Amino acid sequence: MLLYQPESGYCYNSDSVFLYDFISSFKPRGRVLDVGAGCGVVGLLVARDNPKVELEAVEKQDVFIKYATINARVNKIEYKLHKKDFLELDEDTKYDYVISNPPFYHDGVTKSENEMLFNARYNVNLPLKEFFKKISRVLKPNSHFIFCYDASQFGLICSELDYAKMRVVDVQFVHPKADRVASLVMVHARNGSKSLMKVWPPFISFDGAEFSDMAKNIYKKAQTQSIKCQI
């Protein structure tokens, strides 16, 4: 998949590629909404590999709307983009799946003064409580919410999902190396579910200085080619 990205500022990383693979393991179908689409990488990869997906996305930054539109066109994927803050999205349309690699850097970290990076990285732009409440209002009954987040905030994630009447049914922690603590968590939640949580085996990103075999296989499956440019 050919993906155009900004020459400077925020670019997607392995979090998005690993999340795409996690989402695809659930074989999504029906109406899918990608929240905070950026250049479109997660949603477009999912739609490419799951032909029964009807893809929509919401993104508030003008520059990313342009890149996502171009990326959908060059990869010949039908795509409906909503240019607005997700919290302001109309709630008349309901979705079978909502997917997202949202801004998740917490308040305690030093914030970038670059507007693109600030909007893409820091959860002050999409606080968990408001984020999850909005998700619950745009999902169809018994539908799916799949996303990644900072692993250290997993306890808070579970608490806020419960408050929004959603439940974690699958979770996988991503570790940089086998002897390191998890840096990322990938979560599959559902509204109206009574299932117990299934904790997947840990995902190890690196083996020494190289990607692990699992990570290599995901990148091979994704087949992304990134081109940084100005549009």
The predicted pLDDT at position 230 comes to 87
Question: What is the distance, to the nearest Å, from the Cα of residue 181 to the centroid of all Cα atoms in its chain?
Answer: 21
Q: How confident is residue 197, by pLDDT bands cut at 50, 70 and 90?
A: very high
d(CA 17, CA 62): 23
Would you say 119 and 102 are in contact if contact means Cβ atoms under 8 Å apart? no
SS3 for 193? coil
Domain ranges of the chain: 2-229
189-223 residues labelled b (16+ CB within 10 A) or e (exposed): bbbebeeeeeeeeebbbeeeeebbeebeebeeebe
Q: What is the pLDDT of residues 125-183, one digit of tens each?
A: 679 999 999 999 999 999 999 999 999 999 999 999 999 999 999 999 999 999 999 99
* Span 55-105, pLDDT tens digits: 999 999 999 999 999 999 999 999 999 999 999 999 999 999 999 999 855
> In the chain, what percentage of residues exceed pLDDT 90?
85
Q: How far apart are CA 55 and CA 71, in angstroms?
A: 13
- Residue 169, Cβ neighbours under 10 Å: how many? 18
Distance of CA 173 to the CA centre of its chain: 15
Contacts of 211 (CB under 8 A, 6+ apart): 205, 219
Confidence band, pLDDT 50/70/90 cuts, at residue 9: confident
The closest alpha carbon to 22, from 38, 4, 2, 45, belongs to 45
CATH fold label, 2-229: Rossmann fold (3.40.50)
